[in-house]
Amino acid sequence: MKKLKFEKLDLKFIISLNLIFILLFSQNAFAGPQSTTYEMKDYTFGAGGNEQGGSDSTSYTLFGTVGELEYDKLNSSSYSLGGGLSYTLKANVPAAPTVTNVSSWYNKLKVTIDNGSNPSDATFLIQVASGSADFSQDTYFVQTDNTLGANQTWQTYTSWGGASGFTLIGLFPGTTYYVRVAAERGNFTQSEYSTAGSAATISPSLTLSLRTTSQPSPPFSVNIGNLTAGAITTSSDTIDITISTNATNGGLIYLFGTNNGLKSTTAGNYNITSSSTDLTAALEGYGARGTTVTQTSGGPMQLISPYNGASQNVGIIDTAKRTLADSTSSPVTNGQVSFELKAKAKSTTPQAGDYSDILTLLATGSF
């Protein structure tokens, strides 16, 4: 053999080549002893004991085999019994992880892995596929921040949330995710992947419905009635708005009017101006007051100030979109808010039969 003339190779060439080899060989970290021509796929020595059986001391670990068993024949749909040293070294294969869409989630899933009776210092790798149940495409690994990424991230069972699991976040809506787990304890001990668990995110949702006490369907109108100077008049009908959303940050209900008050065209566009006030003390006014909030689940719904006042305290109804209620930053099902309208005229409030306003109710989910 002639000596390789390294002096003729430039430094960049050598470095690049070495790094290529490192990257390429790292893909085959768990291969057996090998030469350029051969690889020992199955090999053994010694007998008795195994890493997890406690046959070790503070300085040494004795690995052994339970016999040479034909690799492919001792398999069932749930179990496989491997032979040789590599199987002895491997961590136990965890059971399939539990993957759950807890509550109509559209961008996250709950994952609870099984530790496969591995020691507490065993670490686990969680692989996720969104495109295929056989993990042939769109595969990722769960990262330490519970998002999906390309880096293989090994953590202990405890770090993955233990029996309580963790929430896998940053997912796409309306997508089925398949999750499987591998375990390892030290070098050259990575187990096969578990069978996969799966669940699907759903699409983001928002439903809205509106009605009044006496009108289940549009067009909706509420007549506060005849206003007597100095007296507070409350609408006999309440307005009920119901929302459901799976938005992570909950649903919000907004209210706005068109006139900044109750306006009369015939009275020369006179306006009973709306403001957030206690009508008891006000000479004149108009506004809304929330009366009840309910929900089937989630939330809970809550009235937002100034619409949560007691007695004759009302919140302003103007052209600004104001938050009437929300679901306390949580998804909600059938979150309903009811509110009433109150008005008060003073002695000089012009007589007219056409005081009116148009309320618009909006809902949105904070996704």
Partner 1 sequence: MNLFSKIKNVQIKKDRQALISLVLNLSLLFLTIYPFLLPQKANATVTEAFVRFDRHATGAAISGTACLKSTLTTQTNVVLVFPLDWTISQTAGNWTVTTTNLPTDPVGGAAATAWPGIGTATSVTGVNVQFPGSALVAATFYCFNFAGASSTIGAAGNDKVGQLKTQGGSPYTDSVDWATSVVASGADQITVSASVSATMTFSLSGTTAALGTLSTSSVTSATAVTQTVSTNARNGWTSWVKGTQGTTTVGALHSTVANADINAPAAHPTVSDLSSTTGYVLDVNAGTGTPTINTAYNGSGDTNNGGATTTLFRETATKTTPGSGDTVDLRVRAKIASTQAAASDYSDTLTIVAAGSF
Q: Could you say which residues in the range 117-156 bind partner 1, by CB under 8 A?
A: 128, 130, 138, 140, 145-151
Q: How far is the CB of 77 from partner 1 (least distance, A)?
A: 29
Q: Among residue numbers 171 through 190, which ones bind partner 1 (CB under 8 A)?
A: 171-173
194 neighbors 93 (Cβ within 8 angstroms): yes
**Where does this chain touch partner 1 (CB under 8 A) — which range of 52-60, 89-97, 183-191, 220-228?**
220-228
Tell me how far the alpha carbon of residue 333 is from its chain's centroid. Answer: 16
Q: Minimum Å distance from CB 352 to partner 1?
A: 6
Instruction: State in angstroms the smallest separation of the CB of 2 from partner 1.
Output: 6
- The tally of CA atoms less than 13 A away on the side-chain side of residue 251 is 28
Site for partner 1 in 4-23 (CB under 8 A): 4-5, 8-10, 12-13, 16-17, 19-20, 23
Candidates 89, 199, 232, 252; binder of partner 1 (CB under 8 A) is 252
346 is a contact residue toward partner 1 (CB under 8 A) = yes
d(CA 69, CA 81): 8
Burial class (CB in 10 A: 0-12, 13-18, 19+), 352: middle
> Shortest Cβ distance from residue 161 to partner 1 (Å)?
17
One residue of 107, 234, 271, 336 binding partner 1 per CB under 8 A: 107
Q: Taking CB under 8 A as the rule, does residue 169 contact partner 1?
A: yes
If one asks whether residue 34 binds partner 1 (CB under 8 A), the answer comes out as: no
According to CB under 8 A, which one of 80, 204, 236, 282 is a site residue for partner 1? Answer: 204
**DSSP assignment, residue 328?**
T
Report, in Å, the least distance between residue 31 CB and partner 1.
Answer: 16
Beta pairing class for 332-344 and 232-234: antiparallel
DSSP string, 19-50: HHHHHHHHTTTT--SB-SS-B-SS-----S--
Q: Given the complex with partner 1, which of 85 and 303 has the nearer CB atom?
A: 303
C-beta of 228: minimal distance to partner 1 in Å? 7
Among 124, 160, 166, 355, binds partner 1 (CB under 8 A): 355
Q: How far is 193 from 183, CA to CA, in rounded Å?
A: 8
The answer to whether the CB of 268 falls within 8 A of the CB of 219 is no
Query: What backbone torsions phi and psi does residue 254 show, to the nearest 5 degrees?
Result: -115, 155
- Applying the rule CB under 8 A, the residues between 45 and 104 that interact with partner 1 are none
When asked if residue 203 is in the footprint of partner 1 (CB under 8 A), the reply is yes
53 phi, psi to nearest 5 deg:
-85, 0
Binding segment for partner 1 (CB under 8 A), chosen from 62-70, 86-94, 115-123, 168-176, is 168-176
Q: In what side-by-side order are the strands of the sheet with 166-169?
A: 98-100, 108-112, 166-169
Locate 162 and state its tokens.
Answer: 């233990």
- Our finding on whether 1 is near partner 1 (CB under 8 A) is yes
